Structure 1
Amino acid sequence: MTPPVRPPRAGVRELWPLLRPHRAALVAAAVLSLVSAAAALAQPLLVSRVVDAVGAGRPLLPVVAALVVVLVAAAVLGAGQQYLLQRTAEGVVLTTRRTLADRLLRLPVVEYDRRRTGDLMSRVGADTTLLRATVTSGVVEVGGALVVGIGALVAMALVDGVLLLVTVGSVSIGVVVAVAAARRVRTLSRQAQEQVGAMSAAVERALSAVRTIRASGATAREVDTVGVSAQRAWAAGVAVARLQALVSPASSIAVQGAFLAVLGLGGYRVATGSIGVADLIAFILYLFLLVMPLGQVIRAYTELQTGLGALARVQEVLALEPEDDDRPQRPGTTTAPRLPAPGDPVPLLELRDVGFGYADGTPVLHGVSFSVPAGSRTAVVGPSGAGKSTLLALVEGFYPLTSGSVRWAGTDVRELPRAALRARMGYVEQEAPVLAGTVRENLLLAAPGTPEPELWQVLADVGLTPVVERSELGLDVLVGDDGVLLSGGERQRLAIARSLLARPALLLLDEPTASLDARNETLLRQTLDAAARDRALLVVAHRLSTVRDSDQIVVLEGGRVVAVGTHDELVETDPLYRELATAQLLV
């Protein structure tokens, strides 16, 4: 599997599109932050007035009442600001998750081949969660903290310029160290999230094959594999924590040094009469107001770097082009070409000199040509690795052709909207995926709104009625994760029933009877015979008994068509088909 490309660095500019829909809430939070900052800056001034009033013997009630009002107002405004920020942050996370999930589910199939599912899941969960702190601490709070800090510096300068110089000199040391450490956090945080994604992928890999792992006695080895991934994620997280830990002591030393310097020098200046006691108290309170927002800014900057590292991983996926469901059409091309009727000279599906190779250069198909007339039954057979399943994936448009063309009702499929084309096809994969949930939910996946009697009828057609009737829940019986509560054959038949409900003009079946016993294979063949009366079938099969009655059989070998004909014709004319039929006792 090709390792993911290292994501580009994301900056504040890339964060703004996520914040734009929440402009009103951010503006309101900013206003509350500014008013709250003003209330905080007024408190030391009011405290100094209280001290002056006590010394002068003036009434205390007015100034104390004003101080209480300012304190309460600052607390209420701060609470309102925090609520708005938290709500906005949750909105940003929600929007990002929806956007990311939408993009993940619309990526070209080739992207799923290149990437690990667990890592993609980690981006939706862990990476988007890190954006929350970026919004709450890294946007509006920084503005409010800067206002308080600047206001405190101005007030301190008005109180005593000498003490201000001492304070700035002490605090600057801690700021320089903290900013230098925080700048490195973004890179380390991104690396930590990549390791978390790798660990999630390792867990997903193990859980998806847990029965095979248990049966193979490989549980301990898989535990060790996941443990190694967890160890790497831990090491990356510790590297981030180690760097972040430098910020706190640097800030603490600088702040404590500033307090000690202000207390020592301030006490001396009070003793010499340079400033009064009330002014020293006010200066110390303003120093508190400077230190608190300074710590907020440093913490916010650090969290912003962490969030931007996660945002880069999110943007890596969002930068991928989604599969285009509404491709531009050639002038005069209709969205849904008229479907040919049985016997029409224009086939429903036609492959013309189709060639295909994977991105790594591995060739799969070479000059494949055949057609599927409307209302007919066409089978594709051949040894393993001949390219049969790849052929169906190309018809569905999961991969771009290397050469040649696939035509639908006479029109090149590349000139038709992909969604409209797929609505005319039903596709049952070889693994017959079943979604976690109920039988009803699986049946309605491709045909929502289907009446319940039709659901029961299609279950009867594929022989699944006993499976549903054995539970009192009926159609709402659970199938388990990946259909684990069903047998392999039951999953296969449920997938076929799901496709039949959509009433496709062409039904693509990849090994439909691979997991069926003889009795159910006979039942399914009868169902497919009935389905073929009003739709075309294109069936890939190893078991020739399933397709021997097909109107035509295409024999693939090494990615090339080596013969086309009926069962009887191919037994007489094609050595490969005769060999396959003989091995299955059909000759």
Structure 2
Amino acid sequence: MWPRSVPTGTGPSSSSTTPGCSPRSSARSPPPSERRPVSTPAGEASATAAPTATVRELLPLLRPHRRALAVAAVLSLVAAAGALAQPALVARVIEAVGAGRELLPAVLVLVAVLVAASVLGALQQYLLQRTAEGVVLSTRRTLADRLLRLPVAEYDRRRTGDLMSRVGADTTLLRATVTSGVVEVAGSAVVAVGAVVAMALVDGWLLLVTVLSVGVGLTVVLSVSRGVRRLSQQAQEEVGAMSAAVERALSAVRTIRASGATAREVDVVAASAGRAYAAGVRVARLEALVSPAGSIAVQGAFLAVLGLGGYRVATGSIAVADLVAFILYLFLLVMPLGQAIAAWTQLQSGLGALARIQEMLALEPEDDARPERGSVAVPPSPVAVPASSPSPGVPLLELEDVTFAYPDGTEVLHGVSLTVPAGSRVALVGPSGAGKSTVLALVEGFYPLTGGSVRWAGTDVRDLPRAGLRARLGYVEQEAPVLAGSVRDNLLLAAPRASDPELWAVLADVGLTEMVQRSPRGLDVPVGDDGVLLSGGERQRLAIARSLLARPALLLLDEPTASLDARNEALLRDTLAAAGADRALLVVAHRLSTVLGSDEIVVLDAGRAVARGTHHELVDTSPLYRELAAAQLLV
């Protein structure tokens, strides 16, 4: 029984995680009476509650790349100066033609400036593209690190597909934000300001007409862009919800096929995709208003300049060369202005995605090196946590009056106490939903206690670094998560320095040698996504082998024989008996045959320890245990 999730804006889900496992692969389904509500689509619930992001939040992502951005900014300024010089050089060429002077020097200077500006522009674009890739890379690394270090309860609240969308789709939008956003806006502003100054020097009346025409278009663009960020964030939320729907269907595709539910699931995904489409169309509809507004402003400015400029040339107020230069400066104003408008719109979309990224980065990660209620970090080494009890009278693990409740106040465990001496074998049995798996989750420190204490070798686990404590524990969940990759990859997860002989030895202990040797690839034989190429029993035995390889002081086993046949169950019992010779075992079991030889069996019912003793003692003293044993023909 897993602790229930807290209702949040994004909605809970049935995903949880263990160290080194993806949330999806480690999710365990609670009993029907305790199932969590299905997560709501992210776009429906969290769009109003999600935080917003500004350019200021984007700056920390750019700070590691400030040198490249500074070079790009300098190149932008130089290229802008070259662009601003071109109309003046064109005017000189026209004047030379009119005066009958030699054209070659002026033309050579114009061509040199044009080529230099183009080369510098290309170099600037390369730097921006490379910087953008660097920003995406660093953001993905930071976000992945945060997602894998969140408290386990956070995975219960969120859908795995939505989290994956934040690492993939949301971070990708930052690329365009950097290349077409901040620096582009700055460079375009420099060119625009320079063009306005040059236009003022040529003719003030023409500049006034230009500013009035362009100002109308800018007013419309700025008012429209205010809604782009909000709608873009909603669109990203819907994309995340769609990714979650696809992940949900693919993770259970065999069940869906067997249930004849393929068409219905296709409809569910299609509906989610439709909502993402509708959100994207809303963004596109708003962005589409930008182009007409800009075009009207530009066309109006050109017509006004041509009309007024032609009149002023006719009256002799300005020369033809000055009018040509002004029109070229107008081009220089309009081009960066259009780029700035597009960049500003792209920036709003990027900030919408950044808000979803910041929402994850704002969550407090679980610090493995810091005790739960300590303020000083401890080096993440198992040396900080003893491997055995300090004295014979102190048990290796002790739960004293442990109480655990859901965040809504519903209690799961009520004053549970038990001890696991070093080298002993203790079993937890009881009906489904009694709280057995929750006990193991609390020992691992996945959830905070509501009351009571869990002590390791006499020390409260809340005073021990999580990494050190977990290094002393081996944990095998009932679903036995297997990571995509090879058998070797899965075994080395908990013991990265183990040698091949050690890997083969632990495979022999759990009866997997023959299965691995069937493939010419041996230890490198692939297991498929979530171990789909293995049988349920093979996945469970591989997970057990992974834990045994780490040589933990205490092995936590949740239904270790749930997917095993009688032959392999007997083999595993022998393996656990051998493993228990030098380590303690805490086993959750529905099959009582697995735990008949335990030193102590604790019977849980409705979150309470109602009986304890050996098998024979409980058959005589516990009606519930006797009922369970009779149902399995053990009495």
TM-score between the two structures when normalised by the length of structure 1: 0.98
| Cα offset, 1:335, TM superposition | 5.8
Residues 350-399 of structure 1: per-residue CA shift (max 9 Å, x gap):
00000001223321100000100000000000000000011100000000
Partners of 2:353 and 2:507 in 1: how far apart? 46
Partners of 1:362 and 1:433 in 2: how far apart? 28
What's the counterpart of residue 9 of structure 2? 3
Is the 1:110–1:398 contact (alpha carbons within 8 Å) kept by the matching residues of 2? yes
- Structure 2 residue corresponding to 1:238, chosen from 281, 286, 291: 281
| Cα offset, 1:342, TM superposition | 11
- Structure 2 residue corresponding to 1:289, chosen from 332, 341, 346: 332
Letter in 1 for 2:318: I
Residues 515-543 of structure 1: per-residue CA shift (max 9 Å, x gap):
00000000000000000000000000000
- Structure 2 residue corresponding to 1:62, chosen from 91, 100, 105: 105
Partners of 2:472 and 2:261 in 1: how far apart? 44
Partners of 2:375 and 2:582 in 1: how far apart? 30
Residues 316-372 of structure 1: per-residue CA shift (max 9 Å, x gap):
0011111121225599x9963444369811000000000001223321100000100
Is the 2:387–2:472 contact (alpha carbons within 8 Å) kept by the matching residues of 1? no
Are 1:351 and 2:399 counterparts?
yes
Secondary structure of the structure 2 residue equivalent to 1:350: strand
Letter in 2 for 1:11: T
Secondary structure of the structure 2 residue equivalent to 1:74: helix
Letter in 1 for 2:416: V
Secondary structure of the structure 1 residue equivalent to 2:455: strand
Partners of 1:242 and 1:551 in 2: how far apart? 70
Is the 1:3–1:115 contact (alpha carbons within 8 Å) kept by the matching residues of 2? no
Is the 1:353–1:367 contact (alpha carbons within 8 Å) kept by the matching residues of 2? yes
Change in 2 beyond 3 A, CA 1:330/1:101: closer
Instruction: After TM superposition, list the pairs within 5 Å mapping 1:173-192 onto structure 2.
Output: 173-192=216-235
Residues 398-455 of structure 1: per-residue CA shift (max 9 Å, x gap):
0000000000000000000000000000000000000000001001100012110111
| Cα offset, 1:134, TM superposition | 1.2
What's the counterpart of residue 576 of structure 1? 624
What's the counterpart of residue 560 of structure 2? 512
Are 1:560 and 2:603 counterparts?
no
Residues 467-500 of structure 1: per-residue CA shift (max 9 Å, x gap):
1011111111010000000000000000000000
Secondary structure of the structure 1 residue equivalent to 2:602: strand
What's the counterpart of residue 249 of structure 1? 292
| Cα offset, 1:166, TM superposition | 1.0
Partners of 1:141 and 1:533 in 2: how far apart? 68
Secondary structure of the structure 2 residue equivalent to 1:327: coil
Is the 2:390–2:457 contact (alpha carbons within 8 Å) kept by the matching residues of 1? no
Change in 2 beyond 3 A, CA 1:305/1:532: same
| Cα offset, 1:54, TM superposition | 0.3
Partners of 2:306 and 2:190 in 1: how far apart? 25
Partners of 1:283 and 1:90 in 2: how far apart? 39
What's the counterpart of residue 464 of structure 2? 416
Is the 2:403–2:415 contact (alpha carbons within 8 Å) kept by the matching residues of 1? yes
| Cα offset, 1:140, TM superposition | 1.6
Ranges in structure 2 where 5+ consecutive residues have no aligned partner: 1-6, 11-45
Change in 2 beyond 3 A, CA 1:154/1:463: same
Secondary structure of the structure 2 residue equivalent to 1:139: helix
Partners of 1:339 and 1:50 in 2: how far apart? 87
Letter in 2 for 1:348: L
Letter in 1 for 2:9: P
What's the counterpart of residue 550 of structure 1? 598
- Structure 2 residue corresponding to 1:437, chosen from 485, 494, 504: 485
Is the 1:435–1:481 contact (alpha carbons within 8 Å) kept by the matching residues of 2? yes
What's the counterpart of residue 114 of structure 1? 157
Partners of 1:194 and 1:148 in 2: how far apart? 36
Is the 2:603–2:625 contact (alpha carbons within 8 Å) kept by the matching residues of 1? yes
Partners of 2:8 and 2:295 in 1: how far apart? 46
Partners of 1:338 and 1:455 in 2: how far apart? 26
Instruction: After TM superposition, list the pairs within 5 Å mapping 1:261-276 onto structure 2.
Output: 261-276=304-319
Are 1:198 and 2:241 counterparts?
yes
TM-score between the two structures when normalised by the length of structure 2: 0.91
Are 1:209 and 2:252 counterparts?
yes
Partners of 1:234 and 1:275 in 2: how far apart? 54
How much is the aligned-residue C-alpha RMSD, in angstroms? 1.4
What's the counterpart of residue 497 of structure 2? 449
Change in 2 beyond 3 A, CA 1:337/1:212: closer
Is the 1:343–1:374 contact (alpha carbons within 8 Å) kept by the matching residues of 2? no
Letter in 2 for 1:121: M
- Structure 1 residue corresponding to 2:367, chosen from 321, 324, 332: 324
Letter in 2 for 1:194: E
What's the counterpart of residue 400 of structure 1? 448
Partners of 1:342 and 1:29 in 2: how far apart? 62
What's the counterpart of residue 126 of structure 1? 169
Residues 211-260 of structure 1: per-residue CA shift (max 9 Å, x gap):
11111111111111111111110000000001100000110011011111
Partners of 2:383 and 2:519 in 1: how far apart? 44
Partners of 2:271 and 2:232 in 1: how far apart? 19
Is the 1:378–1:553 contact (alpha carbons within 8 Å) kept by the matching residues of 2? yes
Are 1:495 and 2:543 counterparts?
yes
Secondary structure of the structure 1 residue equivalent to 2:384: coil
Is the 1:442–1:498 contact (alpha carbons within 8 Å) kept by the matching residues of 2? yes
Secondary structure of the structure 2 residue equivalent to 1:586: coil
Partners of 1:269 and 1:437 in 2: how far apart? 76
What's the counterpart of residue 532 of structure 1? 580
Partners of 1:325 and 1:338 in 2: how far apart? 16
Are 1:371 and 2:414 counterparts?
no
Identity in percent: 79
| Cα offset, 1:266, TM superposition | 1.2
| Cα offset, 1:3, TM superposition | 3.1
Residues 107-144 of structure 1: per-residue CA shift (max 9 Å, x gap):
11100000000000000001111111111122122221
Is the 1:342–1:376 contact (alpha carbons within 8 Å) kept by the matching residues of 2? no
Is the 2:430–2:604 contact (alpha carbons within 8 Å) kept by the matching residues of 1? yes
Is the 1:122–1:197 contact (alpha carbons within 8 Å) kept by the matching residues of 2? yes
Change in 2 beyond 3 A, CA 1:265/1:488: same
Ranges in structure 1 where 5+ consecutive residues have no aligned partner: none
Partners of 1:549 and 1:475 in 2: how far apart? 33
Is the 1:343–1:373 contact (alpha carbons within 8 Å) kept by the matching residues of 2? no
Change in 2 beyond 3 A, CA 1:345/1:155: same
| Cα offset, 1:158, TM superposition | 1.1
What's the counterpart of residue 309 of structure 1? 352
Partners of 1:494 and 1:567 in 2: how far apart? 29
Change in 2 beyond 3 A, CA 1:330/1:233: closer
Pairs aligned (count):
586
Letter in 2 for 1:291: V
Secondary structure of the structure 2 residue equivalent to 1:380: strand
Is the 1:386–1:559 contact (alpha carbons within 8 Å) kept by the matching residues of 2? yes
Letter in 2 for 1:182: S
